Structure 1
Amino acid sequence: MFKEYSILLTFICLTFLLATIVFILSYIFSVQKADAEKISAYECGFNPFDDARTTFDIRFYLVAILFLIFDLEVSFLYPWSVCIGYLNNQGFYVICTFLFILTIGFLYEWFKGALDWE
């Protein structure tokens, strides 16, 4: 059994060794001077001007949550599309029902104005 996995074990050992060598060489040969520009906070190319704990508009959170919901739901389509040839008609009708419910939810959000930025 070791013979079957020896190539994989060799590959893992070589990649670990190569990564370690590159890390050590980059640490040795890089410039280690920390100046004010390197240690300053970076925020969109300019210095931060306000407290980080300020409140955000609720639309940022709403758009983020809507994106996550639709992104996760659409990610369910990939496994279905991979094995569509092996499914019977019931698998097709189930995904059609899923897409119909997804479309109804999208239209509801659209008509409620959740996607308008104003």
Structure 2
Amino acid sequence: MTPAIDPNNPLTSYLPLAIALLLAGVLALLIVNLAALAGPKRPSSIKSAPFEAGSASSGTARQRFAVKFYVVALLFIVFDVEAVFLYPWAVNFRELGWFGYAEMAVFAATVVVGLIYIWKKGALEWEH
């Protein structure tokens, strides 16, 4: 006799998600282990050498980067995340009506003002 799934249990709706996550984990472990078992096993100095875009590496990996590099990276992430908010709004555009349009106009105006501010501050300039 198999136990029946209780439909009144609030965790019942999460069962498909748990099964999908379990299968994804098992598949990931399986792929990594199969690659380790079936992969090539003849290391050489040429294969172990670092490769970067076809040219020999130069310098040290411990060199310091300018702060501008990190500022540009953070700005990219901020504007990328802000662009992600546009997709659900566009999908629900008709249901949101004018209120949703006004909310997105305020959001877009804030983003544009931020972009103008960082542009005027010179945060997007690579060389000074």
Is the structural similarity TM-score above 0.5? Answer: yes
Q: Give 1:40 shift.
A: 1.3
Query: What's the % identity of the aligned pairs?
Result: 33
User: In the superposition, relative to structure 1, how do residues 32 and 93 fare at CA in structure 2: closer, same or farther (>3 Å)?
Assistant: same
Q: Distance in 2 between matches of 1:31 and 1:83?
A: 50
- Paired residue for 2:111? 102
Q: Distance in 1 between matches of 2:121 and 2:34?
A: 56
For 1:58, the aligned partner's letter is V
User: In the superposition, relative to structure 1, how do residues 108 and 34 fare at CA in structure 2: closer, same or farther (>3 Å)?
Assistant: same
Partner residue of 1:39 out of 48, 68, 87:
48
User: In the superposition, relative to structure 1, how do residues 116 and 24 fare at CA in structure 2: closer, same or farther (>3 Å)?
Assistant: closer
Q: Give 1:47 shift.
A: 3.2
Matched, 1:55 2:73: no
- Paired residue for 2:85? 76
Aligned residues: 106
Structure 1 length-normalised TM: 0.71
Q: Give 1:43 shift.
A: 2.9
Structure 2 length-normalised TM: 0.66
Q: Distance in 2 between matches of 1:39 and 1:25?
A: 18
Mark the runs of 5 or more structure 2 residues left unpaired by the alignment. Answer: 6-15
Q: Distance in 2 between matches of 1:25 and 1:65?
A: 35
Partner residue of 2:100 out of 62, 67, 91:
91
Q: Which runs of 4+ in 1 moved over 3 A?
A: 23-28
For 1:63, the aligned partner's letter is V
- Paired residue for 2:75? 66
